[in-house]
C-alpha cells in the first residue's frame, strides 16, 4: 500500500494506517534527524530529534490533501514537515539555553501545530536574488504541480517544492536543502534557476505562464 493510500485511510479514521505509515517512513525520519545531529548539537539527544521528526511526520499525515490532483508525493510533503519540526526544536532549544533554563515553550494551537512555525515566514531572509521568483511561484501555485510533473524531473520538482513551500509549509533556504540532498547550496540554487527557466520556456510558460508573469 502506498503512502498516499495509508494517509487517506488514516484521515478516514483508521489509526492502524498511521502506525503503518510511520513504520514505512522511519528511514526518512532518521535520515533527516541525522543531518541535524552534528558536533554543534551533540548536547541534544539524537532520539529527541527523531521524536520531533515523528511529530512532523504525523502532522504531515493530518495536513496532506489526498484529493488534490496537483499534490506533491507524500514523502516530499512529509520531508518538509519533518525538517521544519526538528529545525524549530533546535532553534527553541538554543534560545532557551541562552536566555533561561525556565523559558516557556512556544504556544501551540488547538490542533497541536506549532504556531511559531506558521508565523515565522516574514522573519526569514530567503536567499533569492529578487522577489519576482517568489511572486511568480505563488501566483501559479494552483496549477504548478501539473506543470512540474510534465516538464521537470523528480529531483527538480522536490527542490522547487522545498524552496518555495508550494504545499503551504515554510520554504527552506538553499543551504538547508543542499544539506539534505548532500550537495552545496549553490548547486541547489543552480538547479532551482534551471528548473524555473524550463517552466518559463515550456509550452505552458510561453502561454498561460507568460500572461501571468506579465501581470506581475
| Residue 137 confidence class, pLDDT cut points 50, 70, 90 | low
Report the pLDDT value the prediction gives residue 168, as an integer from 0 to 100. Answer: 56
Report the pLDDT value the prediction gives residue 169, as an integer from 0 to 100. Answer: 60
Residue 76 has pLDDT above 70, yes or no: yes
Query: Over the stretch 115-131, which tens digit does the pLDDT of each residue have?
Result: 333 333 333 334 444 55
Name which residue leads in pLDDT, 115 or 202.
202
**What are the φ/ψ torsions at residue 113 (nearest 5 degrees)?**
-80, 135
Query: Over the stretch 160-173, which tens digit does the pLDDT of each residue have?
Result: 888 887 665 667 88
Residue 83 has pLDDT above 50, yes or no: yes
Residue 17 has pLDDT above 60, yes or no: yes
Residues in the chain: 216
Report the pLDDT value the prediction gives residue 112, as an integer from 0 to 100. Answer: 35
Architecture of the domain spanning 124-216: Orthogonal Bundle (1.10)
Q: Any idea where the domains of the chain sit in the sequence?
A: 1-119, 124-216
| Residue 140 confidence class, pLDDT cut points 50, 70, 90 | low
Report the pLDDT value the prediction gives residue 161, as an integer from 0 to 100. Answer: 81
1-119 CATH: 1.10.1740.10
Residue 39 has pLDDT above 90, yes or no: no
pTM: 0.56
Report the pLDDT value the prediction gives residue 142, as an integer from 0 to 100. Answer: 58
Amino acid at each position: 500500500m502506498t503512502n498516499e493510500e495509508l494517509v487517506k485511510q488514516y484521515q478516514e479514521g483508521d489509526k492502524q494506517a498511521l502506525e503503518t505509515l510511520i513504520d514505512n517512513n522511519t528511514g526518512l525520519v532518521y535520515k533527516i534527524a541525522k543531518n541535524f545531529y552534528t558536533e554543534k548539537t551533540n548536547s541534544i539527544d539524537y532520539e529527541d530529534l527523531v521524536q520531533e521528526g515523528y511529530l512532523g511526520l504525523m502532522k504531515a499525515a493530518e495536513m496532506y490533501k489526498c484529493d488534490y490532483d496537483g499534490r506533491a508525493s507524500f514523502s516530499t510533503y512529509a520531508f518538509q514537515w519533518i525538517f521544519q519540526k526538528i529545525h524549530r526544536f533546535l532553534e527553541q532549544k538554543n534560545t532557551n539555553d541562552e536566555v533561561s533554563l525556565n523559558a516557556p515553550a512556544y504556544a501551540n494551537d488547538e490542533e497541536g501545530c506549532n504556531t511559531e512555525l506558521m508565523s515565522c515566514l516574514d522573519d526569514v531572509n530567503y536567499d533569492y536574488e529578487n522577489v519576482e521568483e517568489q511572486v511568480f511561484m505563488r501566483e501559479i501555485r494552483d496549477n504548478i504541480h501539473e506543470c512540474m510533473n510534465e516538464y521537470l524531473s523528480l529531483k527538480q520538482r522536490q527542490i522547487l517544492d522545498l524552496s518555495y513551500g508550494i504545499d503551504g509549509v515554510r520554504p527552506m533556504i538553499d543551504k538547508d536543502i543542499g544539506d539534505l540532498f548532500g550537495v552545496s547550496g549553490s548547486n541547489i540554487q543552480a538547479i532551482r534557476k534551471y528548473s524555473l527557466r524550463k517552466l518559463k520556456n515550456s509550452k505552458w510558460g510561453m502561454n498561460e505562464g507568460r500572461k501571468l508573469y506579465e501581470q506581475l
